[in-house]
Amino acid sequence: MPYLLRVELPDVPGSLGRLASAIGEADGDIQAIEIVEKHHGGTAVDDVFLEMPAGSMPDSVVSTVNALEGVRVLWIGRYAAGGNLFLDLEAVEELTEDPERALDRLIDRLPVVFRADWGARVSKADGVVYATGAAPDGLTWQPIERAETIDSEDENNIHCGARLNKSEIVVIGRRGGPAFLDSEIARLGHLVGLAMSISRAARTDSR
């Protein structure tokens, strides 16, 4: 059974080795590790994709990892997409392959890139104009000027959005967690800006 484990740990040599050993002792099988954010205080936040054997509970991983000095589990949850990482640059390459559909393809890929549950384009005039299947009903346009977290009436949904143009925004969401980090929000803003540039260039070339 696949899980996503988000941990904060000291940004020093040997930390990942200790983390990997602890997860192995708790019967976790690491599929991939990605550094999400580094802090000036000498710590880092990593996402660990792991598999647990049938009948094993993730609680054992949490308790074993939390027992490590300076290490803290921030979140753990089922990860339906498995451990396939889809890096930002790969997402941009896919957008350029079909620039006329860049904005829709961005929405399709954002949940994978950010390990979110859904993505959507929301228009000020028309509401949701494109979304992945798991997007909740009733999403509305928000007057955001830059990439930022968005308040949600549903406490189980964590939203993050970025302005696409004057009339549309992009929103992604996670059910339950983890919270979007500042580095993830900045990446979202960057990718949305790139997608808009690719889309504009395609429209200009078609004239």
Cβ within 8 Å of residue 70, ≥6 positions away: 9, 10, 15, 43
pLDDT digits (tens, 9 = 90+) for 127-155: 999 999 999 988 999 999 999 999 887 77
* Longest CA pairwise span in the chain (Å): 61
pLDDT digits (tens, 9 = 90+) for 156-197: 789 999 999 999 999 999 998 899 999 899 999 999 999 999
Evaluate the omega torsion of the peptide bond into residue 178 and state whether it is cis, within 30 degrees of 0: yes
- 97: number of Cβ within 10 Å: 10
User: How does the average pLDDT of the chain come out, rounded?
Assistant: 89
How many angstroms separate the CA atoms of 29 and 92, rounded?
30
The per-residue pLDDT for 164 is 93
Q: In what order do the strands lie in the sheet with 72-78?
A: 29-38, 43-51, 2-10, 72-78
pTM: 0.77
